Amino acid sequence: MPGPPTAEEQLSFLRSLQRLMDEGSFVASYKFALLHAIADLCLVKGDESGAELELSTSEIAEQFVRLYWCQVAPYPAEDYTQVLKQNTGRQAAIVREVAAHHSQYEGSLIDLERSNSDWRQLHRKVERTVKVMPLWKLQTVGSEQLDFLYENVGTGGFIRLKPGVAYCLRAFYPMIIDMIQGGWLHFVQRCNPGLLGQVTDLRSFLFGAPRTSLETYRPLFRDLQEGRCFYCERAIMRGGAIDHFIPWRRYPLDLGHNFVLTHQGCNSSKSDLLAAEEHLQRWTERNRTRRDELEAGFDERKVVHDWPATRSIARWAYGQVHRAGGQVWLQAKELKRLSGDWRRILHAGGGSAA
């Protein structure tokens, strides 16, 4: 018997989980559903012994259906209602399947379960997708395998959670679920630009956080950045995205200085990662040298701003990643490990007068 994990082992578990959330890249929301499902099953099936725990793909699939069930209800938007996208490309297969059943059974999961044949069919389809899509890909972070939850055997009808995993998922369940839901919410926001935040609060809709309209920043940053992308410094031909420099998923920081104008593509490949030191350098420099201009612009648009607070949160965010030995985003799919340079940049480059 291995016994419960030590404090150090628990910490290392949380760090790995945080890396998985922050750095793992996914085209569908399955990662969140899978982590959620595993944590839920640990509450039902696990204990405090620190022992391994076997979970079948059938059990996981059932949890998937439950998790997606509320989310596939048509989302009430201004123009028309529709099922929220949960994939960066075509709608996620599981969402399509669950949505079709949701509509057929008029939202009653109980009726669907009682149908037997329809339920079995849906369950089987979802299980098949779970096996092909997220199960053996969940623990891949860039080119690294981070197999801390279960051994990535790549096949079969069950996973065996490693010793201590069920213990930790139970011990930190509320915090972990909050983290998963936060990531999931943000992912859905990214998949449905323009559709959200108009009528219904999305977090309540998905799981039962409002944010500022980002459009107001566009003209200000377009002028300030002379129409160029903050990250790659190439011209932005049309539109462009307003990016949270310190990703919103890490901290819901809607203060003016945290925003930059970027290409849609640069924005989505950076995703929830922190930007590399060279970007951090440019960002602090911009906020220091163009501070008057920026703040006049923010005031004019009634945007809340507080550079010292923004910088403190940036220090916290970079400190977190540095302690975790995590990676930061450079460009496109290129990540690198964060060096200690951020400290110098955020302390010296931030402007001591503030």
Q: Does 263 bind Zn ion (CB under 5 A)?
A: yes
Q: How far apart are CA 136 and CA 150, in angstroms?
A: 10
Shortest distance in whole angstroms from residue 333 CB to Zn ion:
14
* CB contact burial 16-47 (16+ within 10 A = b; e otherwise): bbbbbbbbbbbebbbbbbbbbbbbbbbeeebe
Q: Which residue, 71 or 267, has its beta carbon nearer to Zn ion? A: 267
Q: Which residue, 217 or 307, has its beta carbon nearer to Zn ion? A: 217
Piece in contact with Zn ion (CB under 5 A), picked from 70-78, 182-190, 237-245, 260-268: 260-268
Piece in contact with Zn ion (CB under 5 A), picked from 131-139, 189-197, 244-252, 261-269: 261-269
Residue number with the shortest CB distance to Zn ion? 229
Q: Does 260 bind Zn ion (CB under 5 A)?
A: no
Q: Does 261 bind Zn ion (CB under 5 A)?
A: no
Name the 3-class secondary structure at 22.
helix
Nearest residue to 81 via CA among 200, 187, 184:
200
- DSSP for 281-299 reads HHHHHHHHHTHHHHHHHHH
Piece in contact with Zn ion (CB under 5 A), picked from 18-26, 168-176, 242-250, 259-267: 259-267
Does an H or E element contain 331, and which?
strand 327-331
Piece in contact with Zn ion (CB under 5 A), picked from 149-157, 206-214, 266-274, 291-299: 266-274
Name the 3-class secondary structure at 27.
coil
Shortest distance in whole angstroms from residue 259 CB to Zn ion:
15
Q: Which residue, 209 or 232, has its beta carbon nearer to Zn ion? A: 232
Does an H or E element contain 168, and which?
helix 165-171
Q: Which residue, 235 or 296, has its beta carbon nearer to Zn ion? A: 235
Q: Which residue, 177 or 232, has its beta carbon nearer to Zn ion? A: 232
Q: How far apart are CA 121 and CA 256, in angstroms?
A: 50
Shortest distance in whole angstroms from residue 112 CB to Zn ion:
45
Shortest distance in whole angstroms from residue 313 CB to Zn ion:
24
Q: How far apart are CA 264 and CA 251, in angstroms?
A: 21
| Cα-to-chain-centroid distance, residue 246 | 13
Q: Which positions from 207 to 246 touch Zn ion by CB under 5 A, shown as an x/- string?
A: ----------------------x-xx--------------
Phi, psi of 261 (to 5 degrees): -95, 130
- Residues in contact with 138: Cβ distance below 8 Å, sequence separation at least 6, in sequence order: 20, 24, 31, 34, 35, 149
Shortest distance in whole angstroms from residue 234 CB to Zn ion:
6
Piece in contact with Zn ion (CB under 5 A), picked from 31-39, 94-102, 238-246, 257-265: 257-265
- DSSP for 215-229 reads GGGHHHHHHHTTTB-
Q: How far apart are CA 242 and CA 224, in angstroms?
A: 13
Q: Which residue, 159 or 260, has its beta carbon nearer to Zn ion? A: 260
Piece in contact with Zn ion (CB under 5 A), picked from 76-84, 182-190, 255-263, 326-334: 255-263
Indicate which single residue of 67, 135, 161, 266 sits in contact with Zn ion (rule: CB under 5 A): 266
Place of tokens 């400290």: 343
List residues binding Zn ion (CB under 5 A).
229, 231-232, 263, 266
